[in-house]
Amino acid sequence: MRLRSKLLTTLLAAACPLAALLPRGSSAQPGYTHVSLVLTNGRVFTADARGTVAEAVAIRGNRIVAVGSTHHITSSYKGERTIDLKGRLVTPGFNDAHIHFLGGGLSLLRVNLVGAKTLAEAKARVAARVREVQPGAWVTGRGWDHTLWGGEWPTKKDLDEVAPNNPVILQRVDGHVSWANTLALQKGGVTRATEAPQGGEILHDAAGEPTGILKETAAGLVTRVVPAATREENTEALTRALAEARRYGITSVSANDVPSSAATPLYREMLKAGKLTVRVAEWQQFERTVEELKRERAEFESHKDDPLRLRLTALKGYVDGTLGSRTAAMLAPFADDPHNSGIPRRPPEELTRMIVERDAAGFQIALHCIGDRANRMALDGFAAALKANPRPTPVAKPAAAASNQNAGGPTSIMTTYDGSTLRKGEFTFGLHYSEYDRETRRNSNTRRHRVEHAQVVAPTDFARYRDLGVLASMQPSHAISDKRWAQERLGEYRVLGAYSWHTFAAHAVAVPFGTDWPVEPISPYLGLYAAVTRQSTEGEPSGGWWPEQRLSIEDAIRNYTAEPAYATFEEREKGRIVIGMLADLVVHSKDMLAIAPSEILNTQPDLTVFDGRVVYERKSDE
């Protein structure tokens, strides 16, 4: 692929001096076309289907107007700012397909237990927070992982020792189990007689008393009495989250801020103030009635936000829990817990009814599914919706970018968004017929329902994903976080269908990547590394864990850029460095197309370009 990309770049450089072919009246003849930003002398990975690599980009306003060789761009365009990339790699901006954006920002304001290697270390971090607050004030946080402590669940007594006068509730790293102390249980009314809600579990000790571990929906017994974050806290959290996104080259997010009642107004305020430096696809709650969802959608649309900056997309729902907490819904019991098959959030019949009803109302659906049973339940529901709610296949019309007269060759003329005419040779990397045919087939899928995580899938269900047109929204860093215990938990056979992004891709299933921050770190580079190596950050095991699931770096980048754009029906607007696309780009400190995979972890953005302007520049000492 790299050889092909180099060949295309060479051919492009030879083909670009086309002054003799310029149409009369071209705005670029005889002088320069003035644009806002020019990037030259780089390695521009366009993320198109052919892995094309160019050298330079010209940007006018918030759109890409030219992609090609440095000679072509510099001889044709004059930028208000020109940046010499000095050989650095440029890719589309990262598009995080699954992130708890406001929640991630709030996690920066709470007790951070991520990486605590022992129970004592976790308790010490809680104790430090207790010393900072008044007696009686709630202490919240997340990130603990009992599998690092030997696998035994912590208890309320552990927290009582360091917080006897403060109610404490702490989410596990996956967000699906909570650990509470005695005061928190008392405030939530949780006693030995309390029954767990559907889809939840309360752990009890030998005497029948609650231990402080609340699984899945049972955590709501306590969290419902925890004071909500204040407006000031949410604003600070979102401000910090936006800064983190800029620092890691993230220019779009599918935000799992469910419920979104606190997040969406803040996004809107940031947008109006010119401070929203990511494009937000916000989710609604799957559990709400269709009437409630329609009212929410109508209220949202009444604000007339720029849909390329802030929009409502999918309905997010939960089918099961997680592998780490053994609450994932499995077709057979866990290999290391033979009496436990996980916790489905609702009966299959109820889930199917809800899917069919919401699909009929025209909503895109995104369901959290970890276990193979959960994945099958979702697929069964999507299959029922496809049968109950048939829709005509749309006849896709070629976009301007695809309306070339020479199959396989560059378009001779294209009209940009501001109506100006581009000359021959300028539209170098648009859609070509072979690529367009593939997109036409994919675009016939008017639903684009999604499964979030898709961690463990039965072998026969990969083809069902393809046939139903369901997207597998995955977070590759989960594989290297979970590999310490995943095979022991799943068994030798089931692990073959776990974290299988390559198998999905081989079945022509769209696989948008995300980080799941704050469950995992926000850095997309960790996900790229995981997708390419299947190794821990220490490089274990040698050759990778189930290495047949590894991806090329080119495909992994596309899964973080082009595929998430497809997941939100925006593949004609962003996700590739193509003329007419939104100018969301990242300049990387290392050339990930050429370096050793281990060096991906040491890569970071030198520049983040959002909506055509530089919003982040790394300092030399960072």
Indicate whether 580 pLDDT > 90.
Answer: yes
Structure tokens at 582: 């939104």
438-469 residue pLDDT tens:
454 455 678 999 999 999 999 999 999 999 99
Q: Are residues 468 and 512 in the same domain?
A: yes
Query: Please, which residues have CB within 8 angstroms of residue 304's CB and are 6 or more apart in sequence?
Result: none
By three-state DSSP, how is residue 400 classified? Answer: helix
pLDDT recorded at residue 136: 95
Rounded CA separation 532/555 (Å): 9
Q: Are residues 211 and 145 in the same domain?
A: yes
Q: Are residues 153 and 136 in the same domain?
A: yes
* Half-sphere exposure (Cβ direction) of 40: Cα atoms closer than 13 Å: 16
Indicate whether 32 pLDDT > 90.
Answer: no
Task: Determine contact, residues 549/534, Cβ cutoff 8 Å.
Answer: yes
Domain range for residue 26? 2-91+399-434+611-617
Rounded CA separation 412/420 (Å): 14
Q: Are residues 51 and 123 in the same domain?
A: no
Q: Are residues 61 and 179 in the same domain?
A: no
Q: Are residues 418 and 506 in the same domain?
A: no
pLDDT recorded at residue 622: 67
**Residue closest to 619 by CA, chosen among 247, 358, 257, 273:** 247
Into how many domains does the chain fold? Answer: 3
Structure tokens at 215: 């699984």
CATH number at residue 540: 3.20.20.140
Query: Please, which residues have CB within 8 angstroms of residue 607's CB and are 6 or more apart in sequence?
Result: 83, 585, 586, 587, 614, 616, 617, 618
The rounded mean pLDDT for the chain is 88
By three-state DSSP, how is residue 110 classified? Answer: coil
187-205 residue pLDDT tens:
999 999 999 999 999 999 9
Structure tokens at 542: 């040698």
CATH number at residue 42: 2.30.40.10
pLDDT recorded at residue 420: 30
Q: Are residues 123 and 176 in the same domain?
A: yes
pLDDT recorded at residue 439: 52
Q: Is 510 inside any structural domain? A: yes
pLDDT recorded at residue 419: 28
Indicate whether 4 pLDDT > 60.
Answer: no
Q: Is 219 inside any structural domain? A: yes
Q: Are residues 10 and 43 in the same domain?
A: yes
Report residue 247's pLDDT band, with 50, 70 and 90 as the boundaries: very high
Rounded CA separation 520/99 (Å): 9
Taking residues 528-541, what's their average pLDDT?
96
Given 3-state DSSP classes, what are the helix, strand and coil percentages for the chain, each rounded to the nearest 5?
35, 20, 45
* Domain end residue (candidates: 198, 223, 248): 223
Taking residues 426-445, what's their average pLDDT?
42
* Domain end residue (candidates: 536, 551, 566): 551
585-599: string of b/e by CB count within 10 Å (b at 16+)? bbbbbbbbbeeebee
Taking residues 590-618, what's their average pLDDT?
98
Rounded CA separation 521/542 (Å): 23
Q: Is 24 inside any structural domain? A: yes
By three-state DSSP, how is residue 601 classified? Answer: helix
pLDDT recorded at residue 394: 56
Taking residues 545-557, what's their average pLDDT?
96
Q: Are residues 451 and 426 in the same domain?
A: no
Peptide bond into 410 cis (omega under 30): no
Q: Are residues 377 and 496 in the same domain?
A: yes
Using alpha carbons only, how large is the chain's radius of gyration in Å?
25
Q: Is 45 inside any structural domain? A: yes
Report residue 393's pLDDT band, with 50, 70 and 90 as the boundaries: low
Q: Is 578 inside any structural domain? A: no
Rounded CA separation 1/519 (Å): 34
The H or E element that residue 586 is part of is: strand 585-588
Spell out the SS3 assignment of 56-103: EEEEECCEEEEEECHHHHHHHEEEEEEEECCCCEEEECEEEEEECHHH
Rounded CA separation 123/213 (Å): 15
Q: Is 583 inside any structural domain? A: no
Indicate whether 7 pLDDT > 70.
Answer: no
* Domain end residue (candidates: 551, 570, 596): 551
pLDDT > 90 fraction of the chain, expressed in percent and rounded = 81
pTM: 0.84
Q: Are residues 119 and 70 in the same domain?
A: no
Spell out the SS3 assignment of 331-385: CCCECCECCCCCCCCCCHHHHHHHHHHHHHCCCCEEEEECCHHHHHHHHHHHHHH
pLDDT recorded at residue 405: 26
Taking residues 499-515, what's their average pLDDT?
96
**Residue closest to 86 by CA, chosen among 66, 63, 47, 56:** 56
Indicate whether 329 pLDDT > 60.
Answer: yes
Distances (CA, A) of 322 to 326, 343, 368, 369, 492: 6, 9, 10, 8, 19
Read out DSSP for 142-185?
Answer: EEE-GGGGTSPPP-HHHHHHH-TTS-EEEEETTSSEEEE-HHHH
pLDDT recorded at residue 429: 31
Indicate whether 412 pLDDT > 70.
Answer: no
Q: Are residues 141 and 80 in the same domain?
A: no
Residue 231: CB atoms within 10 A of its CB come to: 11
CATH number at residue 184: 3.10.310.70
pLDDT recorded at residue 422: 31
CA 138 to chain centre: 31
Q: Is 560 inside any structural domain? A: no
Indicate whether 344 pLDDT > 80.
Answer: yes
99-140 residue pLDDT tens:
999 999 999 999 999 989 999 999 999 999 999 999 999 999
pLDDT recorded at residue 426: 31
Taking residues 527-540, what's their average pLDDT?
97
Taking residues 223-239, what's their average pLDDT?
94
Q: Is 98 inside any structural domain? A: no
